[in-house]
Amino acid sequence: MSGLRARQKADRHRRIIEAAADLFREAGYEGAKIETIAAQAEVSVGTIYNYYENKGDILGAIVSMEVNEVLNAGRGVVSNPPANVGDALDTLLGIYIEHSLHYLSKEMWRQAMAISTQLPDSPFGQAYTGLDRTLTEQIRALIVRLQEVGLVRRDIDGPALGELIFNNMNMMFIEFVKRDEARIAELRAAIRRQNRILVAAIAV
């Protein structure tokens, strides 16, 4: 079962995702009907449900791409961080935030987050939780790196700190996508201000 069937499968996956991404951007998540996605992808409604458990999973596939890109961009910062704890955090979190609206509108983020808490056991729900965890890990990795370079105290509880920083950023980001008029610059400033308290506690 290597040839035709597998090729068609991959192709249909791609067509569905492309059609959905287009329509989500154009009409919004709620506004995009499965029937329309199916038509544009040139498959039937039934087939879409053969590939994805529900409408949310389609969005999920798109979100996953976005977050993975962000994770990649973050690697550079972790391996070679700015020589100052505050700047290092700001740079890493800044990358997450600045990338965030590249492919996904605020409305798409709202839907994605909603689905991930509503259906935590669906494929997307689990994937989303996994992505959050990976982001947390990356922040932890930065802290470890800063400890190695001697910028952060060795006796700090790294795992707890990483989680704390991620949780705060994530919650601020959730509030950010909930308000259409909220600006990225303000979000970053607010997070920087909060992290200043932490930086004072952990910097050597």
Partner DNA sequence: TTCTAAAATTGAGTCAATTCTGTTTTTGTG
Partner DNA sequence: CACAAAAACAGAATTGACTCAATTTTAGAA
Query: Which residues contribute to the site for its own copies (CB under 8 A)?
Result: 110-111, 113-115, 117-118, 120, 125, 129, 156-157, 160-161, 163-164, 166-168, 170-172, 174-175, 177-179, 190, 193-194, 196-198, 200-202
In this structure, what token pair is assigned to residue 105?
């509108």
- Residue nearer to DNA on the CB measure, 45 or 201: 45
Instruction: For the CB of residue 149, give the shortest distance to its own copies in the complex, in Å.
Output: 20
Say if residues 54 and 75 touch (Cβ distance below 8 Å): no
Closer residue to DNA in complex, CB, 56/74? 56
Q: Which residues face 152 on adjacent strands?
A: 203
How many residues are listed for the chain in this entry?
204
Binder of residue 35, out of DNA, its own copies, none (CB less than 5 to 8 A by kind)? DNA
Contacted entry of its own copies, DNA, none for residue 6, CB cut-off 5 to 8 Å set by kind? DNA
CB of 170 to its own copies, least distance (A): 6
By C-beta, is 72 or 118 nearer to its own copies?
118
Six token digits for residue 119: 């259906």
